[in-house]
Amino acid sequence: MNFRTPHPFPPVILDDVRGAQKMLSGVARMTAMEGSRHLSELVGAPVHFKCENLQRTGSFKLRGAYVRIVGLSPVERAAGVVAASAGNHAQGVALASALLGVRATVFMPVGAPLPKVAATREYGAEVRLHGQVVDETLAAAQEYAQETGAVFIHPFDHPDIIAGQGTVGLEILEQCPEVRTIVVGIGGGGLAAGIAVAVKAVRPDVRIIGVQAAGAACYPPSLAAGHPVVIDGLHTMADGIKVGRPGDVPFGLVQELVDEVRTVSEAELSSALLLCLERAKLVVEPAGASPVAALLSDPRSFRGPVVALLSGGNVDPLLMQRILTHGMASAGRYLSLRVRLTDRPGALAALLASLSVADANILDIGHVRTDPRLGLTEVEVELHLETKGPVHCEEVTVALRQAGYEVTA
């Protein structure tokens, strides 16, 4: 679907991005470009990862934050800066401010992951925990800016931010000059807009596809309406792209320059994160894995060579554990089932022997004897198994039923 409309006075142009690239020399790294053999086979063309998860602070956010702050006047720098973020933008602003000698205050939600809070403080920013959701945190930061005169550094809705993020696009063209499709996650739109500005000016033939989490997809209805609209009830593990309204500045650029915006499910996100870890040996946060999720969901719809942007790798270890479990379940690597047995000596041993023959590894096992649905001499065994994939799950279930067991999911 083509959402483009004329934009006679674009707020960001290629020269802005090239200027930002010069500013970032020696500050932001040119991150690696890694090939993915597994995804290349699925897509039927070369697929590469642009590894911004290996950028300083663990995401692309340093680029835009530094360009925005370095452009402040001496008076503005003296007043300090303030930002609101659940993690990546917070760390980008904190490090950029430290490098430029500017005082930074960062508001973060009360429930922000402790590693992200600690990292932001270690970069030198004053962290204030406020609100349960980012919208409340954002309001507190803007109020602080009005009261103190500190400059509010928006995470995506400013031309300097977009120009800084666009330097990723210039690097992609340099590292993979034959690229035909770039896939990038979209939250507020700053990254996608910046990449689109840089790439389309040099290579208008390159297709740019944005990806949103289905539970936090503000761009499809906004593009359909022709202007930014607010969506409520955001539900996604991908907090880096969990935004309820597109930014005014990036929206116009995305509308004009981005070819398509797709959505991915939570199951697809967790499967993508698992693939990055297992196949590419890369730690990627859910938002950063969204382009991979899109590739997995419909691999043959992408024209190659493809570059999938891994935008960040800042993920809380506890969340990572839950996501990996979810991803393995989505990939058919876990099987949970209940088996009814006669409550007699040796019955459990016989069941375990059947599972051994089926080559299923038992992760957890539990007995239920008090369910009123059970007969007087019956017991139900709840099993959590590690399997080799969906086909193996079916094989295990069939083997148990052929052995005479009553199996329920």
For the annotated catalytic residues, the residue numbers are 61, 311
DSSP structural state of residue 403: T
- Which of 380, 381, 375, 377 shows the shortest CA–CA distance to 343? 377
Nearest 5°: phi and psi at 200? -65, -30
C-alpha to C-alpha distance for 386 and 334, rounded to whole angstroms: 5
DSSP structural state of residue 209: E
- In whole angstroms, how far apart are CA 406 and each of 32, 341, 355? 52, 8, 14
3-state secondary structure of 66: helix
Tokens (6 digits) for 153: 């550094």
| Strand-pair category, 378-386 with 126-129 | unpaired
Tokens (6 digits) for 130: 């406020």
3-state secondary structure of 401: helix
- DSSP symbols for 278-289: HHS-----TTTT
